[in-house]
Amino acid sequence: MSDTHLGGAVATSAPPPAVHEGLDPAALAAKHGLAVSGARPGLFEYVRDLWSRRHFILAFSSAKLASQYSQAKLGQVWQVATPLLNALVYYLIFGLILGAGRGMSENVYIPFLVTGIFVFTFTQNSVMAGVRAISGNLGLVRALHFPRATLPISFSLQQLQQLLYSMIVLVAVALFFGSYPSLRWLLLIPALLLQFVFNTGLSMIVARMGAKTPDLAQLMPFIMRTWMYASGVMFSISAMLADKPAWIAKVLMYNPAAVYMDLIRYSLIEGYGAGNLPPHVWITALGWALVFGIGGFVYFWKAEEVYGRG
């Protein structure tokens, strides 16, 4: 401590507050209610913060959907035209040339194929958008403070909105080939909700992975294509693998993409009966949704403080 004479008075230089009070910086910050900038909030606080931004999530997903085809002359028509054209190509190759619709009439196989394309595209696009949710929006992540889970959730919601538009065409295809409205159509609601929860959880998992390893976005199309062929999008798994060991078909039928596709096919298509579904299919669908929905959310939240850094 030093003394300085100023006009007869004595000025004493005081030590820094932390030394004067005998506190270290962390204790001093805690005493005055200060927190580390960008620190991960508690899980329940994080959920409350997300809920408070629900209107932003909806608006952001709607804006992304509206801008997706803004440069194309046909605009939003491509939301429906793209999966329909994919279905046409797969029908020509797998339906007519390879006979993948064995055991099904044309009135069943064509809605079966179109449903599979539309429903798998829902999952595929959610994953592809999720893997770039952080790495593709670094400017937004670094400029503003908000729960980062907002981004993968918004992208999954965008894909759900796109699927709902596509459902108009899907219903028209089902009607054209003789599948008329019944009480089973109400099962579409829980099936789509469970798939949305599953997609969102998976999207958050790949969002965290893609934030750390941006090259994952280049690998993901190959992973998704393999998953598509293993999920029975273009053919019935049980019919196609009838001469193979039974466990192979069971594994493929219980994979989540196949479970959600078959539930929606069962709900919508006349002639696609419960015999085409694996046992306990609703419990399986709920289990996949809970495991990936909750697990993916917690997995993403645990890295909240590192997104956008480095």
Q: Does residue 134 share a domain with residue 5?
A: no
**Nearest partner of 161 among 185, 131, 132, 125, judged by Cα:** 125
- Is residue 76 located within the same domain as residue 102? yes
Residues 22 and 129 in one domain: no
| DSSP one-letter string for 63-79 | HHHHHTTTTSTTTTHHH
pTM of the shown model: 0.84
Considering the domain architecture, whether residues 81 and 123 belong to the same structural domain is answered as yes
User: Cα–Cα distances in Å, from 36 out to 30, 45, 103, 109?
Assistant: 10, 16, 63, 58
Q: What values do phi and psi take at 3, rounded to 5?
A: -110, 140
Q: How far apart are CA 283 and CA 146, in angstroms?
A: 35
Segment 254-295, tens digit of pLDDT: 999 999 999 999 999 988 888 889 899 999 999 999 999 999
Comparing 262 with 81, the larger pLDDT belongs to: 262
Residue 54 has a CB neighbour count (10 Å cut-off) of 11
Whether 148 and 14 map to the same domain: the answer is no
Q: How far apart are CA 26 and CA 192, in angstroms?
A: 48
| Distance from C-alpha of 151 to C-alpha of 140, rounded to nearest angstrom | 10
**Neighbouring C-alpha atoms within 13 Å toward the C-beta of 61:** 21
**Nearest one of 81, 271, 294 to 180, comparing CA atoms:** 271
pLDDT in tens, 87-122: 888 888 877 777 777 778 888 888 999 999 999 999
Tally the domains of the chain: 2
155 and 22 together in one domain: no
Q: Are residues 170 and 93 in the same domain?
A: yes
User: In which domain, by residue range, is 188 found?
Assistant: 42-306
Query: Ranked by mean pLDDT, which of 52-66, 86-100, 112-126, 163-177 comes out on top?
Result: 112-126
Q: Is 253 exposed, middle or buried (0-12, 13-18, 19+ CB in 10 A)?
A: buried
Same domain assignment for residues 124 and 253? yes
Note the pLDDT tens digit of each residue in 231-246. 989 888 888 888 888 8
Q: What is the pLDDT of residue 2?
A: 47
Residue 21 and residue 138 in one domain: no
In this structure, the answer to whether residues 23 and 164 fall within a common structural domain is no
> 7 with 123, same domain?
no
Instruction: DSSP letter for 278, please.
Output: P
Residues 67 and 131 in one domain: yes
Evaluate if residue 1 carries a pLDDT over 50: no
